Structure 1
Amino acid sequence: MAPVTPVAPVTSVTPVTVVGLDAAGAPPHPALAPALAAAGLVVGAARHLAAVPVPPGATTVALGPLAPAVHRLAAAVADGVPAVVLASGDPGLFGILRRLRAAGLPLRVVPAVSSVAAAFARAGLPWDGAAVVTAHGRDPRPALNACRALPLVAVLTAPGAGAGELGAGLAGWSRRLVVAEHLGTDAERVREVTPEQAAAGTWSDPHVLLSIATADTADTADTADAGPDAARAAGRMRSDNQPAAAPVGGWALPESRYAHRASMITKSEVRALVIARLRPRLGRLVWDIGAGSGSVGIECALLGAAVIAVEQEPGAGETIRANAAAHAVDVRLVVGRAPAALAGLPEPDAVFVGGGGADVLAAVTARRPDRVVLTLAALDRVAPAVGLLRAAGYTVEGSQLSAARLADLPGGSIRLAATNPVVVLTGERP
């Protein structure tokens, strides 16, 4: 006899009904009217409470700090009083649902169209594969770095972390921004702007920002809706619909996967350790200094990080662009000699120093990234580099890597062909 799958026990506890109000302006879900009619407690933002027919006998709680509202809801559940929570769009998308579940409340959820879905719809863009992040109530830098790294990102904004601030942070990246204000209301406005225009503009809250990669960096006037640049950028998205997942093709790729000049490329065995030490991921910004072929920065971008590659040779810069395009990642290229070329760049979370002397390393540590990784072939440079990192307050560890690769011999034999030994140093800020 087949085993019986256990099911959750039936409970008589009345769940809190969480109803999303459509961000696109559509009428409320039919389930809202009977839920409100039976409700003894209705919780929501002031604008939501004003938008629905709250029954005269129901107690209302306008959301400000969330803890008092959660306490009132828990008391209502304990007393068997039906309660309704009004939310924006889909309550499960960076919404109130997470906090209510964390409080252990029994819930019935009726979602509506989210503000993110409404913004993409207003812009006429597909959004499968887009990253959705929030800058609301938290450090906005991870959201900004997601916009720097990925081709299509929706950001739920907040006062002080909106289109103006994100636009200023995207200066130097090839992006178009769609700003959708007051969705679903008479004051709705959707405009496509450049990062510079966003930084200089004044925006109403609440609004949603869409960040869209584009090769066109020319300024355009504000328009009533998203233009053809946005549509073309959306069509160039990665097809695996996993913008921040580990790359399908892996990392620490063979040198043959990159164009490079005279074997001037970080070997795959070394690159594997370097990438592990840099810890690239969505929300982090990595500098690749002395980028050469760009292989280290490109693989950090494949793992979701925003990347700036600094290279003094214009010819190598063209190689980096070609390699980044071949791997379908966005790497910002700065052509110039470090350390001067580092001035004005946004603050990194991790830095790989693949070229340059002590002056470059000193300039990097002065910016105080969390991690600094460098590779050295000359042993006489190891001790000074360790000393410089320690003097800057970093703890240092290092390894010497010496790989030997299989190589065929005539007659079917196999030998080991040694690659040049390299010292990998990692400085970590406590």
Structure 2
Amino acid sequence: MGRVTRAADPAAVGRPAAAPVTVVGVDAAGAPPHPAALAALAGARLAVGAARHLACAALPDDCATVTLGPLAPALDRLAAAVAAGLPAVVLASGDPGLFGIVRRLRVEGLPVRVLPAVSSVAAAFARAGLPWDGAAVVSAHGRDLRPALNAVRALPAVAVLTAPGAGAAELGAGLVGWRRRLVVAEHLGTPAERVVETTPERAAATAWADPHVLLCLATDPDEVGAVRADNQPAAAPAGGWALPEAGYAHRDSMITKAEVRALAVARLRPRLGRLVWDVGAGSGSVGIECALLGAAVIAVERDPDAVDLVRRNAAAYRVDVRVVAGAAPVALAGLPDPDAAFVGGGGLDVLAAVAARRPARVVATLAALDRVAPALGLLREHGYRAEGVQLSAARLADLPGGSVRLAATNPVLVLTGDRP
């Protein structure tokens, strides 16, 4: 077969071919290690980067430079260079594809060639002598701190890219009450490099140098499990969810049934970066399944025997659920605000205390019909769109002679409040 060729665009005749922007990763000491980096720098006609990176780069005398501050002017200059066919480089720390400038360049439609250096995350784990194939990597740089904070609350091994005002001190303060040890890596690769292992309490009381990387690790990885066998640190659990009641230790069938739990967890929308309260936790089954789906979870339970059950069940599923022993609403005071809350026990005063904390979603289960109208009214008074559904499941049960019958479970009302 003959080769098919595309007809030339007459308007493009004589126009220079678009040259990709070469993004060069610079290690913390200032030397670009990739073998092709020196050649890219030597041929550059435009270089964009932070002042410290441009100062150490071997650029031609006639190379124009743009020092990064606001990004928009630099992007305009890069687009013009690409259109003119001029070689352009961007200098960036570490691996520019890891929460770096590569994403923004691609959003702008610029062709990109990447020559990475060792990322600050890889360097931090290496300095600490730790493996990180099971770790999650999140960023608190230039964004809301809460998702990163909830990720380190939920998972046993997390690296956080920090920023002034969103670093080890702030994250440490938010981790008080969770069993975590922290490794703070300051000024990696420079003469001022310092790697310190500390606790959340000490981190919160320390002034850390910028830039630094935070590693947050479970104090007992054997208890929580630092690496999932499926290489998915925050994906849906391999064993599924809405697990049968027999999968949990519980007392006298005091457990949210699997059919109800499936809807409750779906309505709570747990995922990495969110904090879920399980109030009146009982066996802890709802909170544990939210934790299996990546959420940070606080379980509140007043019964000392049930508190022990929650801890045993969480350990059995190797998730880190923070258990608060005490009666709501008093026990809710001082807890970090949730993104979603499940109220499985307590009266209207508990539901009111939860709604007053303004989580985006509230899910409550009720057995008594006379509580439904007051609970709906309470949620609506707190600004929620409230709705409810009654769930009544009948499970197959064997009969003598090979027949089966339907065995009814108790009806349960599930109320959901959504904040507009």
Q: Secondary structure at the match of 1:169?
A: helix
Shift of 1:79: 1.5
Select which of 363, 366, 370 maps to 1:373.
Answer: 363
Over 3 Å counting, the alpha-carbon distance change for 1:422 and 1:299 in structure 2 is same
Contact 1:212–1:234 (CA under 8 A) maintained in structure 2: no
Paired with 1:354 and 1:192, the residues of 2 have a C-alpha distance of: 39
Aligned to 1:245: 235
Aligned pair partner of 2:40 in 7, 29, 35: 35
Any idea what SS the aligned residue of 1:337 has?
A: coil
Q: Determine the C-alpha separation between the residues in 1 that align with 2:315 and 2:128.
A: 26
Verify: 1:118 aligned to 2:119, yes or no. no
Distance 1:6 1:191, change over 3 A: farther
Q: What amino acid does structure 1 have at the position aligned with 2:201?
A: E
Other structure's SS at 1:242 match: coil
- Paired amino acid for 1:21: V
How far apart are 1:26 and its partner, in Å? 6.5
1:426–1:247 distance in 2 versus 1, CA, 3 Å: same
Residues 23, 118 of structure 1: 8 Å contact kept: no
Residues 10-409 of structure 1: matches in 2 within 5 Å? Answer: 12-23=17-28, 28-215=33-220, 236-409=226-399
Distance in 2, Cα, partners of 1:287 & 1:6? 61
- 1:141-172 Cα offsets, whole Å, 9 max, x none, are 00000000000000000111001101101110
| Residue type at the aligned position of 2:197 | E
| Conserved? CA contact 2:224–2:315, under 8 Å | no
1:25–1:183 contact (8 Å) kept in structure 2? no
Query: How far apart are the structure 1 equivalents of 2:277 and 2:124?
Result: 32
State how far apart, in whole Å, the 1-side matches of 2:28 and 2:242 are: 44
Task: Name 1:220's counterpart in structure 2.
Answer: none
Is this contact kept in 1: 2:224–2:320, CA < 8 A? no
Specify the SS of the correspondent of 1:299. Answer: helix
State the one-letter code of the partner of 1:311: E
Q: Does the 8 Å CA contact 1:23/1:112 hold for their aligned counterparts?
A: no
CA separation in 1, counterparts of 2:143 and 2:271? 18
SS in 2 for 1:147: helix
For structure 1, which segment, 26-35 or 273-282, has the greater mean C-alpha deviation from structure 2 after superposition?
26-35
Structure 1 residue ranges without an equivalent (≥5):
216-230
Q: For the Cα contact (< 8 Å) 1:163–1:198, is it kept in 2? A: yes
How far apart, in 2, do the equivalents of 1:24 and 1:44 lie?
15
User: Aligned partners of 2:417 and 2:32: how far apart in 1?
Assistant: 56
Q: Give, in whole Å, the separation in 1 of the partners of 2:282 and 2:122.
A: 41
Residue 380 of structure 1 aligns to a residue in which SS? helix
Counterpart residue type for residue 153 of structure 1: V
Q: 1:12 Cα deviation (Å)?
A: 3.2
Q: Deviation string for 1:161-208 (max 9, x for gaps)?
A: 001101101110000011011111111111011001111001111111
Structure 1 distance, partners of 2:163, 2:366, is: 44
**Do the aligned partners of 2:169 and 2:206 also contact (CA within 8 Å) in 1?**
yes
Q: Partner amino acid for 1:373? A: V
Tell me the C-alpha RMSD between the 2 structures.
1.9
CA 1:248–1:64: 2 relative to 1, 3 Å: same
1:412 aligns with 2:417: no
Q: How many residues align?
A: 411
CA contact (8 A) 1:151 1:233 kept: no
**Paired letter, 2:109:** G
- Taking only the aligned residue pairs, the percentage that are identical comes to 77
State the distance in 1 between where 2:36 and 2:345 align.
63
Is residue 425 of structure 1 aligned with residue 415 of structure 2?
Answer: yes
SS of the residue 1:43 aligns to:
strand
Please give the TM-score of this superposition, normalised by the length of structure 1.
0.92
When the two structures are superposed, what TM-score results if normalisation uses the length of structure 2?
A: 0.95
Separation in 2, partners of 1:324, 1:98:
38
Cα shift at 1:406: 0.3
CA distance in 2, matches of 1:321, 1:110: 47
Deviation (angstroms), 1:239? 2.5
Letter in 1 for 2:353: A
Q: What is the deviation of 1:319?
A: 0.8
2: CA distance between counterparts of 1:174 and 1:334? 13
The farther-off stretch of 231-240 and 278-287 is 231-240
Matches of 1:378 and 1:77, distance apart in 2:
68
Deviation at 1:27, TM superposition (A): 5.4
Gaps of 5+ in 2: 9-15
